A and B are shown apart, each in its own frame.
Chain A
Amino acid sequence: MTVQSLYGVAALVAGGIAYLLPFLPPWLVTIIADVVFGAILLAASMINTIVLIWYERKLLGRFMDRRGAMHVGYAGLLQNFADGLKLFRKNTYKPREADSLGFYGGPTAYMVSSLVIFGILPISTGWDNGSLPLSLLLALVIFSFAPLFIFLSAWSSNNKYSLMGGMRSAAQMIAYEVPILIAVVAVVVLSGSFDLTTIVSEQRNYWFALPLFLALIVFVAGMLAEMERIPFDLPEAEAELVEGWNTEYGGMLFAFFMLADYLRALIGSILIVLLFLGGWTLPSYVPAALTSFPLAGIFWFMVKTYLVFGVFVWVRASLPRVRTDQLLRVGWMRMVPLALVSVLIAAAVVAAHCLPVLGCVPGLGS
């Protein structure tokens, strides 16, 4: 038996346990398989997140004419684990007037809501963690929980900087949800499905980035705002708001925010790869040798994801932060119309498929 999928691995482990302990009822074995699956997902996402932080530190270092972390582990690969250990050992301090539920619940919910999305995202054909018909919509819905939790933790910190950061965060995320969703509509129009697996398989002939370049720009800008990265990191603008909404947090709670931020950055990159850059597939005209080795799907997927994140780092290294009013103005007055135009383009491409003349253009026929 060859293990085709991640869930297959989990089922194999659960099967092994069931073989050793034959008295277990079948429903318990199913639950064990689910738990193992979740644990693997959790480990994979956390390791990726930490490697992502390392990757950003190294890239940013070279952009700034320095080296980045380099002493703990090979090329500083273990530096983030050391940092995490240090944060873990630190005392968690709560301001006296802070609201306990919001102060502790906010970061936790923020972290959990970011982690949940990993259960939905397909990574490659084998990574079929349940092919949901509306997985794209579900992922975006969970992704947009974040402003609520950020605002919750900001408000309950009882700090003026935190409150301002939380306000900015809420305003900015809500403003950029709209163009993101409209840009996604363009993708949905073109692929005809809300299922991420289907969207990827629809890109076997050409990546959606080509016809929907405008939507890609809107989506990338929106994702930058959602991830709160420079140039859109006003909620944590350290120049005026110390650390914005996580000013009062230290120790492991801060580590939660930090990890969740990078989790969301990873999710954003993955969504861009899935929606616009063909996911784990390469265009059909590349040599088969590139796609036929074992785990080729995951390999190409990770390469694309990290390249997309590299672009985010590049932007961070070369652009200053924008101001709140400018950000909102760009969001509502530039991004929304651009997104609408890209929906029109998607519709036109779909319509072109119906025309007999264009239908025979190679790459456009589906």
Chain B
Amino acid sequence: MAASTEPKEGPNAAFLIVKPMATAARQFVKSLVRPSTIVYPFERLEDPSFREEVKVESGHPIGVGPIWDNYRGVHALNIATCISCNLCAFSCPDLCIEMVTVPGGDPKHPKKCPQIDYGKCSYCGFCSDACPEGCLSMTTRYELSTPNRSEMIYSPQKLHEVFERKLPMNPIRLERPENEDAIRLDAPLCIGCNACSRDCPTSCITMVDTPKPTAKPGEKLPRRIWKEPVINDSDCVRCGTCISVCPKECLFWGTHP
């Protein structure tokens, strides 16, 4: 069942070098018309002239057309829709995303948006996959060269400028699974401290009153505020902020209700 690996093109003993020279000459004639290269700073693969054509048949493998948009390049950030959920920074394997304060939030809860250090970024795309609002996504921009290193750090405003250029963005987005895990409450542990509701980026947690039980004789009621978080599951983006801020570890990942 082994494939034959006998040479398909043996050298012709009489004309030692004719075959390779003929092959090179054929390529020469072909590339006289149009070489396969593009003149990079003047022509670009993402140019409209290259986008529509699959040039395989013509012998010029330039580009594969409109699917170029999938390219994972510099991020674009829409500050307006960013909810400061921190998921991008959580998901970054290289720890190159830092959440920095941007103007616009209220003084008590400053709005924080990702700042990306492209000196560290590996362009894995995990952050844009993790972004629940689709405000951080990767564009086709790939030119980053700069003479000094500090310019490799893109502030949220700079990322927003990239967004405003309306570059093509990666159209393939991950869908959330239907039976995704949800935040569950271990009610007896809760002290009603409001930390989760305060820090929830989507404001999907509301504190509702729980009836204060009447203490039986001899029983001491726990010292707590008689409120309990209720999570609006359809608004929840599963960022886990509530879990990490909960002082009593009473919130946890559980199965979908």
A64 to B35, CA, bound (A): 9
Query: Is A20 among interface residues, defined by CB-CB distance under 8 A?
Result: no
With known contacts A65-B30, A65-B31, A318–B21 Cβ distance under 8 A: yes
A12 to B27, CA, bound (A): 50
Q: Contact mask A59-71 → B, CB, 8 Å, 1/0?
A: 1011111110010
Query: Is A361 among interface residues, defined by CB-CB distance under 8 A?
Result: no
With known contacts A67-B37, A67-B39, A314–B24 Cβ distance under 8 A: yes
Residue of A nearest to B22 (CB): A318
Query: Is A21 among interface residues, defined by CB-CB distance under 8 A?
Result: no
A314 CB contact (under 8 Å) in B21, B32, B36 = B21
Evaluate contact between B24 and A63: CB separation under 8 angstroms.
yes
Q: For A67, what are the chain B residues with a Cβ–Cβ distance below 8 Å?
A: 35, 37, 39
Question: Closest CB of chain B to A335's CB: distance in Å?
Answer: 14
Most chain A CB atoms below 10 A, which of B17, B24, B32: B24
Query: Is B28 among interface residues, defined by CB-CB distance under 8 A?
Result: yes
Query: Is B222 among interface residues, defined by CB-CB distance under 8 A?
Result: no
Evaluate contact between B35 and A65: CB separation under 8 angstroms.
yes
Q: For A61, what are the chain B residues with a Cβ–Cβ distance below 8 Å?
A: 35
Chain A interface (Cβ < 8 Å from any Cβ of B): 59, 61-67, 70, 314-315, 317-319
Q: For B24, what are the chain A residues with a Cβ–Cβ distance below 8 Å?
A: 63, 314, 317-318
Q: For B27, what are the chain A residues with a Cβ–Cβ distance below 8 Å?
A: 63-65
Evaluate contact between B36 and A66: CB separation under 8 angstroms.
yes
Evaluate contact between A70 and B39: CB separation under 8 angstroms.
yes
A319 CB contact (under 8 Å) in B17, B25, B30, B36 = B17
Query: Is B145 among interface residues, defined by CB-CB distance under 8 A?
Result: no
Most chain A CB atoms below 10 A, which of B20, B25, B28: B28
Evaluate contact between B36 and A65: CB separation under 8 angstroms.
yes
Q: Contact mask B13-25 → A, CB, 8 Å, 1/0?
A: 0000100110111
Evaluate contact between A66 and B37: CB separation under 8 angstroms.
yes
Q: For B17, what are the chain A residues with a Cβ–Cβ distance below 8 Å?
A: 315, 318-319
A20 to B21, CA, bound (A): 59
Residue of B nearest to A316 (CB): B24
Q: For B37, what are the chain A residues with a Cβ–Cβ distance below 8 Å?
A: 65-67
Question: Closest CB of chain B to A34's CB: distance in Å?
Answer: 44
Q: For B36, what are the chain A residues with a Cβ–Cβ distance below 8 Å?
A: 65-66
B35 CB contact (under 8 Å) in A62, A315, A319 = A62
Q: For A64, what are the chain B residues with a Cβ–Cβ distance below 8 Å?
A: 27, 31
A241 to B32, CA, bound (A): 34
With known contacts A67-B37, A67-B39, A70-B39, A62–B32 Cβ distance under 8 A: yes
A67 to B35, CA, bound (A): 7
